[in-house]
Copies of this chain bind each other. A is one copy, B any other.
Amino acid sequence: MATAGTGTRKAQGERTHAAILESAVHIASAEGLEGLTIGRLAAELEMSKSGLFAHFGSKEELQLATIDAARSIFIRDVMRPAMEVPAGIARLWKLCDTWLGHVEAEVFRGGCFFAAVAAEFDSRPGPVRDRIADIMKEWLGMLRLTIAEAQEAGHLASTADPEQMAFEFNALELGANWSMQLHGYSQAFTRARDAILQRLQTCATTKGASLLPRGNKLAAKKRLKRIKGKPCAGDP
């Protein structure tokens, strides 16, 4: 698909479209996809309601487009950087650490975009809810796959359960976001990192443990005391 020249009417339309979605993602992360009203968005962008409306055709289409824009940012800022690290426990740690860093850096005003909109739409059936659920399944699948790869690489004990670990890591990430947003508890990110790192160290093989970061004080202390060959926490 050819890109239109920067001076054409079409190119201008695409710039406006992109500017709308950038504002929309920020508003929706803080005020929800219903709080994202067309009038408010138009005011922020200094254009008329109907002018903005013409880009989407319905509020639902605007919501879906906003969700996809947030997904693209998440892939670019969290998933892609992890993919540049070799598969295994290092990539797994990178994925969790970057996710927490992404929320910690307040890329979106309301913290984690998907935590916010999932809570908002979990009781509202329809295409918007379905799209959010699909993206969250995609994320959990990616996390589970990354855990399974670390296991196949011999970095995690063969008895570890990737589904269980993915559930726990996702919960810790949601919990950190929740604490930060509600209480401004910025330590939450350290708490979540400590919990994840601890869980990884408990399950790691000797080879796997050597690939985990050394900076963490807790981590270093723990590793010294680690008892090899004990069962992995949470195994079936």
Interface residues of A (CB under 8 A from B): 30-32, 34, 109-111, 115-116, 118-120, 122-124, 132-133, 136-137, 163-164, 167-168, 170-172, 174-176, 178-179, 181-183, 188, 191-192, 194-195, 198-199, 202, 218, 222, 225, 227, 230-231, 233-236
A13 to B: closest C-beta gap in Å: 31
CB atoms of A115 and B123 under 8 A apart: no
Contact partners of A109 in chain B: CB under 8 A = 123
CB atoms of B167 and A188 under 8 A apart: yes
CB atoms of A167 and B191 under 8 A apart: yes
Contact partners of A132 in chain B: CB under 8 A = 182
Contact partners of A116 in chain B: CB under 8 A = 119
A14 to B: closest C-beta gap in Å: 30
Given A120-B32, A123-B30, A167-B179, are A225 and B233 also a contact pair (CB < 8 Å)? no
Contact partners of A225 in chain B: CB under 8 A = 230-231
Given A172-B171, A225-B230, are A118 and B202 also a contact pair (CB < 8 Å)? no
A102 to B: closest C-beta gap in Å: 17
Return the chain B residue nearest A166 by Cβ. Answer: B191
A235 to B: closest C-beta gap in Å: 8
How many copies are assembled?
2
Contact partners of A120 in chain B: CB under 8 A = 32, 119-120
Return the chain B residue nearest A109 by Cβ. Answer: B123
14 other A-B residue contacts (CB within 8 Å) besides A110-B123, A115-B119, A195-B234: A30-B123, A31-B124, A109-B123, A110-B122, A115-B178, A116-B119, A118-B181, A119-B120, A119-B181, A167-B188, A171-B172, A171-B174, A171-B195, A172-B175
CB atoms of B122 and A194 under 8 A apart: no
Q: List 27 A-B contacts (CB under 8 A).
A: A31-B123, A31-B124, A110-B123, A111-B122, A116-B119, A118-B178, A118-B181, A119-B178, A122-B178, A122-B181, A133-B182, A133-B183, A167-B175, A167-B179, A167-B192, A168-B175, A171-B172, A171-B178, A172-B175, A174-B178, A175-B175, A194-B234, A198-B234, A222-B235, A225-B231, A227-B227, A233-B233
